[in-house]
Structure 1
Amino acid sequence: MNPSQHVDPVIATEAVLVSRQVIAIGRVSDGLSGAGLADFTLALGCRDERGSGMLPVDLTVGAGGWFAAHLNCLALPGDFPQGTQFSLTADLAAYGHQPLRLQLQVPAASFQRVSWSLARHPDSSLTRLAGPPVQLEAPLLPLPVGLRGIVVYDHDPALPVPGADVEVQDAAPVTTDALGRFSIAQLPLAARVQVRVSDGTHAQTHHLVVDYGQPVNVATLSLTRSNVE
């Protein structure tokens, strides 16, 4: 190696620590199943008495949706932060899920930069933020899905039930058309939903597992005229 290109290993290690200080740690999960999400985005914003802006961070994601957000504190303004009031905003997004915004009030003292000199290199110093990482827990709810289908008698596709009432909790009831078809624009957010069908004389309840990978779930609901499914 050319002597002019020599990099002191101590300085190189400290420079990495400065540029990748962990500012936030936490977990992103599915809000219904609790399973960790591996593919998501995180943007950190901040507001102090001067105004608002985005924090320069890099994201590392581990198993189970656990993550660490690394801050490049050298890219922050020299007077960051100002005053005593400081808030942190975390915007999270993942495919198939509703975006989530978390807002936290953080002591401004935790974001004050501190520096100290290196004993072996008195002309160099390390810079980092004073406080510990912020902890974030982010359960993301799936995007709502709809339900369409047909109501038939006795599991027989040749016997559609026209004019049947189809009811799902927390959704507006609908009535089947002349061919027994129905459509519900949005199901409640749940792993399973209860669907009640009635022709005015007979009624039956079905429990459906919601597939959030499909924007519209499809189901055939049977109405047993003996009321025994």
Structure 2
Amino acid sequence: MIIDTHLHLIDLSALRYPWLSREPALNRDFPHAEYAIQARRAGIEAALHMEVDVDEADIQAETSHVKAQSLEKGSLLRGAIASCRPEEAGFAAYLERQQADPFVKGFRRVLHVMPDELSDSALFRENIERLAGTGLTFDLVVLPHQIPRAVALADLAPDVQFVLDHCGVPDIKASAEHPWREHMTEIARRPNVLRCRRLCRCRLMDRRDLAPLCRAHDRHFRLGPRRVGQRLAGVHAWRWPCDLGGGDACVDCGSQP
């Protein structure tokens, strides 16, 4: 079974997306029905919804909205990675509510468009540690220079499973040189960062630019005796609708969820 682990659905009539005003190509509805047609053609049989950085007041509404669609006949939706705010005191109560809902499989806090220091706070780190033993994952969406902060979180909470989104957003035009290569080598050594989204959208000049990136990515995530094949097997992501334009489309991955 092929499971798409990074599906974004957009419903402008139900939820607010502050960032969409800066992305005209995506500033429309992208419903499940449209996705399902394309997904089935690609052999995808199930999908996890990835939070779409909705307005903070709509976080719970987003999860509820997606869950309702999962109950519709023929739906591919099997779970959700919900948005969260670990930097806030209310996270503990929020986590308790989400644990009661088996539809929620994990969390993500968008970090790549936030101040670097956000994940450094004592409260943020304390709340990330709360995920230990829950079976819920935490997705890391960071820019290359922020990867060391992701490493710090992984070290802080060794019993939490982290997921590195968008391959760490490498700079393709710069041939993914420093700091991405060095930082990816370091995060690949963490046994609790067990999965990596293989598909990413960056500003690409040519599809051939992807070849060295893919070789470097595979090398980084096969370090050590536990690494051979482990990181790359089983978990893949289309990142629909952000990836609809193909590998050479000029859409800035660093500004999107």
Query: Quick check: TM above 0.5?
Result: no
TM-score of the two chains, using structure 2 as the length reference: 0.18
**As a proportion of its length, which structure holds more strand?**
1
Structure 1 or 2: more helix by fraction = 2
TM-score (norm 1): 0.19
Answer with 1 or 2: which has the greater Rg.
Answer: 1
